């Protein structure tokens, strides 16, 4: 008889053993021109002493996104975008990982989320600050020809890889790179975000024309700053335009 395991059937725990459901967080930021991820040192077996992604169990009456926001606040004190266009971090669901052997203790299905955060004055204020650190992605993942990385716990290397790849491709056609910047930022600062995330260098002149020429992408605040040195630069906020068309082009190398 087919269809026995159909959605339609009543739930019988003896046939369908329960799963633990967690959220894991890939929290990315740009610090000192390097793409960094939030990582915690594990204090328990398995994988004691290894880096892991922050995360935790979803509560009984809690939505997945709610659980991710709660975990993020517990670990970083960060709060995702309160209002449209305002700073805060960007949070979105990434993917779900459910290999039966991914956690040796039990069957865990983890719903990973991606967070793009501005560089924070205090790296992990308000939470488990002792164990949480910003770690350059390059030292966690083997790049092409890079040195052997510090191994991550569980399948977190896979999750981090997927999160980084998602961030890299999303800034191509959306205004999401601004989520890595302070509420007000210069065109040059935004360009350095692209350069850090993609690992390339971009022509400053053409980049400037491209982003300022896309209507609704950047909104000038009127202020200027010289915090990067040189001639004073205009300050901008992220505009309402969330789609970038035509997209920013990612150079070959």
Partner DNA sequence: ACAAAAGTGTTGGCGTTACACCCATGG
Partner DNA sequence: CCATGGGTGTAACGCCAACACTTTTGT
| Residue 174 touches DNA, criterion: CB under 7 A | no
Q: Find the binder of DNA among 203, 216, 221, 223 (CB under 7 A).
A: 203
Q: Shortest approach of DNA to residue 240 CB, angstroms? A: 20
| Residue 252 touches a copy of itself, criterion: CB under 8 A | no
Pairing of strands 132-136, 34-41: antiparallel
Q: Find the binder of DNA among 204, 216, 223, 240 (CB under 7 A).
A: 204
> Of the ranges 68-76, 126-134, 145-153, 187-195, which one interacts with DNA (CB under 7 A)?
187-195
| Residue 186 touches DNA, criterion: CB under 7 A | yes
| Residue 231 touches DNA, criterion: CB under 7 A | yes
Residue identified by tokens 């020429």 is: 213
| Residue 230 touches DNA, criterion: CB under 7 A | yes
What are φ and ψ of residue 77, in 5° steps? 75, 5
Q: Shortest approach of a copy of itself to residue 176 CB, angstroms? A: 15
Q: Which does 34 bind (CB under 5 to 8 A by kind): DNA, a copy of itself, none?
A: none
The C-alpha atoms of residue 181 and residue 54 are separated, in whole angstroms, by 22
Angle between helices 204-213 and 187-198 (to 10 degrees): 110
Which pair of structure tokens corresponds to residue 119?
């560089």
Q: Which does 212 bind (CB under 5 to 8 A by kind): DNA, a copy of itself, none?
A: DNA
Question: Residues 199 to 218: which contact a copy of itself by CB under 8 A?
Answer: none
Closest CA relative to residue 29, chosen from 118, 103, 91: 118
Based on CB atoms, which residue is closest to DNA, 151 or 232? 232
The C-alpha atoms of residue 41 and residue 50 are separated, in whole angstroms, by 6
Closest CA relative to residue 30, chosen from 208, 220, 167, 187: 167
> Of the ranges 8-16, 71-79, 122-130, 186-194, which one interacts with DNA (CB under 7 A)?
186-194
Which pair of structure tokens corresponds to residue 35?
């793409």
Q: Which does 233 bind (CB under 5 to 8 A by kind): a copy of itself, DNA, none?
A: DNA
The C-alpha atoms of residue 115 and residue 222 are separated, in whole angstroms, by 29
C-alpha distances in Å from residue 14, one per residue of 4, 17, 79, 109: 14, 6, 40, 19
The C-alpha atoms of residue 180 and residue 1 are separated, in whole angstroms, by 53
Number of residues located near a copy of itself, criterion CB under 8 A: 50
Q: Find the binder of DNA among 188, 199, 219, 241 (CB under 7 A).
A: 188
Q: Which does 141 bind (CB under 5 to 8 A by kind): DNA, a copy of itself, none?
A: none
Secondary structure of 163-213 as H, E, C letters: HHHHHHHHHHHECHHHHHCCCCECHHHHHHHHHHHHCCCCCHHHHHHHHHH
The C-alpha atoms of residue 34 and residue 31 are separated, in whole angstroms, by 5
Question: Residues 22 to 61: which contact a copy of itself by CB under 8 A?
Answer: 22, 24, 42-44, 52, 54-61
Binding site for a copy of itself (CB under 8 A): 2-3, 5-11, 13, 15-22, 24, 42-44, 52, 54-64, 71, 74, 93, 95-100, 105-107, 109, 111, 127-128
């Amino acid at each position: 008889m087919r269809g026995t395991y159909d959605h339609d059937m009543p739930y019988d725990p003896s046939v369908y053993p329960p799963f633990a459901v967690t959220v894991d967080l890939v929290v990315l930021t740009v610090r000192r021109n390097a793409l960094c991820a939030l990582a915690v040192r594990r204090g328990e077996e398995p994988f004691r002493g290894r880096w892991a992604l922050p995360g935790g169990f979803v509560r009984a009456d809690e939505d997945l996104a709610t659980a991710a926001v709660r975990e993020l606040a517990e670990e970083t004190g960060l709060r995702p975008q309160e209002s449209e266009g305002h700073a805060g971090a960007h949070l979105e669901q990434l993917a779900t990982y459910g290999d039966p052997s991914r956690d040796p203790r039990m069957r865990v299905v983890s719903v990973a989320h991606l967070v793009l955060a501005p560089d924070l004055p205090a790296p992990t204020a308000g939470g488990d600050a002792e164990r949480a650190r910003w770690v350059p992605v390059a030292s966690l993942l083997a790049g092409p020809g890079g040195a052997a990385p510090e191994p991550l716990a569980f399948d977190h290397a896979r999750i981090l890889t997927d999160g980084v790849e998602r961030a890299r491709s999303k800034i191509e056609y959306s205004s999401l790179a601004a989520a890595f910047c302070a509420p007000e930022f210069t065109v040059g600062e935004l360009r350095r975000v692209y350069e850090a995330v993609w690992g390339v260098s971009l022509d400053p002149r053409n980049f400037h024309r491209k982003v300022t020429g896309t209507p609704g992408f950047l909104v000038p605040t009127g202020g200027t700053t010289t915090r990067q040195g040189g001639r004073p630069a205009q300050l901008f906020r992220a505009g309402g335009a969330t789609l970038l068309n035509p997209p920013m082009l990612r150079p070959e190398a």
